Structure 1
Amino acid sequence: MHRPGRCTALLVVAAVLAGAPALLVPTAGAPASAAPSSPGDEGGTKKLRDALESASRGHIEATAKLNSSKKRQSQLGTQLKELETRIATLTQEVGVIAAETYRRGRLTPVSALLNSASPQSFLERAAGLEMIAQRDDKQLRELADSLDQATRAKNAIDAEVREQQRQVEIIAKKKKDAERALASVGGNPSGGLISANSPLAKPAPRNSDGSWPKESCSIDDPTTNGCITPRTLHALNQAKANGYKRHTSCHRDGGGGEHPKGRACDFSAAAGGFRNVDATGGDRTYGNNVAAFYVKNASRLGVLYVIWYRQIWMPGNGWRAYNGNGDPASDHTNHVHLSML
């Protein structure tokens, strides 16, 4: 199977620690369509790749749960206000009923019927007493039910507040996990690429609770003869729809990382395809724009991380310095790498 789109991230640690031989990469005269070369996967150790995926995925999932909890809390707050207004009205109505009962001197149904002057009056009083009893009973039941609903709403709000605090702690932990993992390949905060002028992508489908549905490598990859996930295809198509149409390669057989899972794509900076040279001029601008596009639309598309020009972007950590082993492929200076949830 043809294997374009080899993304070589995080190589320096694996190469140094394992004493790997020098990486063989195409020369500048290699065919322009050749994919970025790598020792067999996205680069770095499996431990490092797993740590980055876990940190980024954990942050995204915790953020979705946090937002869902906030939305639920807001809904509960609105419900509680409506209940409190209803309780105030019902309390006033029940107070009127109590006052009427007091003024009647504890009038009982039996005494009211015995005092009837005629059979017709007896029936009229019986019907009236039934209506009063039904009205009073309804008001009292509604008040009790509203008080019960208000108590449950308050308890639910308290539970959502606790859930939000838990997710905030998870987000903070995942951020630290990512920082520890990235320390081996640079990791210092960098200026990064963020552009307010980047176009907005059409959001990918989410679950009703805001989480991302689980997807497999089930869609034909239009860039290779492999497969990708529906969400990855959506992200790829959104880039094309917004004018980013240079050579792209997504699926790759074998190795580790996201490419074999159909959850990653490499975007060539050069117009003619992947080249083993650092992008400059218009090519670098194109790469900047692709990277900025996916960063701006990360929450809309389900972006796990983006690597470009010795920098990596992860949700919660922003852009961080990222050093490969010095060649354009591993330093990602000739292509933008996109990993998806």
Structure 2
Amino acid sequence: MTLTVRPRRRFVPAIAVAVAAAVLVTAFPTAAQAEPNEISSTKVAQLRQTLESAAGQYLEAEGLLTKAKTEQAALNQKLVVADNRYQRAKNSVQKYAAEAYKAGRLGVIGVMLNANTPESFLARSAALEKMTARDEARISELVSARKEIDSTKAEIDNRVREQNKQLSEMAKLRSATERALSAVGGYTTTGWVDPYAPTAAPAKRNSDGSWPSQGCTVNDPTPANGCITPRTLHALQQAQRWFDHYVSCYRSGDMYEHPKGRACDFSSEPDGFKNFSSKGANKLYGDKLASFFVKNASRLGVMYVIWYCKIWLAGSGWKTYRSAGGNCGDDPAGDHTNHVHLSVL
């Protein structure tokens, strides 16, 4: 039996195909491969956990503060109505008291005693009972109006105390976020805000003004193919009304909000994440998108926005942020110079 040796030239097409495939993968990475991965150092991880916790609590306190202010405004209107009612009742009682003083109660009793017939006496007795009931109604209305005023003022005082409590809590949370950022060199800075940024439709809140607790329960419509929260979906859909570049939300390997369905990365380049810092029109696109989220933070439940080496936090404003260290843009993914990161409560 003669052994057959496969010609060497047959390996050339196979090698060429493999090389070509590798080149294609390198030149045109898939969406999953191109997703930005921020450096997950211990310091950065602790920072992001602190920011998530503090920003989330801040939004809850802000919601309760809004509720207390709204209720106080309604109570102030109720107090005006109660005070008007009290003044009318007071004037009525004062007028009756003056008339009773002039006529004298004995005069009324004398009229009763001077009745000539039993029928006349009964008629006058019934009239006196009506007068007494009317007098009691006047006094009862006065007392009731006074109680309503006192009760409403007490409720207003409670709302003011609640507001002071929430303001104090918000101040503490603001200090916590600023201390955490200061530890990694996050000093206060300014961020450009687009004066023409569109207004988003507000996300659903609880009746008390707080944000409902939500899990990763709805399908992520982006190429990430995972799950996100209903509030994240709302923020995504609102943004996509005006911004149409590539976006990805769910990411299982991330240690921050992405696996919880509470974060999205919006590429500043039209067709996906690139390993370079955006410039020109695409940099302006990112600026405008970041401005949109900042302007609508209270409407969408935004905890923080990261863009171009800066982070905007609810209640604290813009701070510097470079998780990769070094110069801004050394790491486009970590410095967020190629995408806008959004985290919602």
TM over 0.5: yes
Between 182-191 and 101-110, the greater mean CA deviation after superposition: 101-110
Native 8 Å contact 2:36 2:333 kept in 1? yes
Quick one: distance in 2 between partners of 1:98 and 1:296?
A: 61
Q: Matched residue of 2:244: which SS?
A: coil
| TM-score normalized with structure 2 length | 0.84
Moved over 6 A (4+): none
Name the counterpart of 1:230.
230
Name the counterpart of 1:31.
29
What is the deviation of 1:105? 2.9
Verify: 1:106 aligned to 2:105, yes or no: yes
Quick one: distance in 1 between partners of 2:229 and 2:210?
A: 16
1:190-209 equivalences under 5 Å are 190-209=189-208
- Look up the equivalent residue of 2:263 and give its one-letter code: A
- Look up the equivalent residue of 2:265 and give its one-letter code: D
Name the counterpart of 1:264.
263
1:1-341 equivalences under 5 Å are 29=27, 31=29, 33=31, 34-38=34-38, 44-107=43-106, 112-223=111-222, 224-242=224-242, 244-325=243-324, 326-341=330-345
- Look up the equivalent residue of 2:142 and give its one-letter code: L
Native 8 Å contact 1:101 1:107 kept in 2? no
Q: Matched residue of 2:193: which SS?
A: coil
Quick one: distance in 2 between partners of 1:44 and 1:231?
A: 29
**How large is the Cα RMSD of the aligned pairs?**
2.2
Quick one: distance in 2 between partners of 1:268 and 1:67?
A: 34
Native 8 Å contact 1:31 1:275 kept in 2? no
What is the deviation of 1:339? 0.1
Quick one: distance in 1 between partners of 2:228 and 2:341?
A: 15
Name the counterpart of 2:10.
none
Deviations 1:115-156 (A, max 9, x none): 212234223212311221221111111111111111111222
What is the deviation of 1:51? 1.0
Native 8 Å contact 2:302 2:344 kept in 1? yes
What is the deviation of 1:36? 0.9
Structure 1 43/324 Cα, relative in aligned 2: closer, same or farther at 3 Å? Answer: same
Quick one: distance in 2 between partners of 1:29 and 1:38?
A: 21
Structure 2 gaps of 5+ residues are: 1-24, 325-329
- Look up the equivalent residue of 2:167 and give its one-letter code: V
Quick one: distance in 1 between partners of 2:30 and 2:269?
A: 8
Deviations 1:294-328 (A, max 9, x none): 11111111111000010000121111110121311
Which protein, 1 or 2, shows the higher relative CO under an 8 Å CA cutoff with sep ≥ 6?
1
Structure 1 gaps of 5+ residues are: 1-26
Identity over aligned residues, as a percent?
A: 46
What is the deviation of 1:272? 1.4
What is the deviation of 1:108? 8.6
Higher alpha-carbon Rg: 2
- Look up the equivalent residue of 2:37 and give its one-letter code: S
What is the deviation of 1:45? 4.3
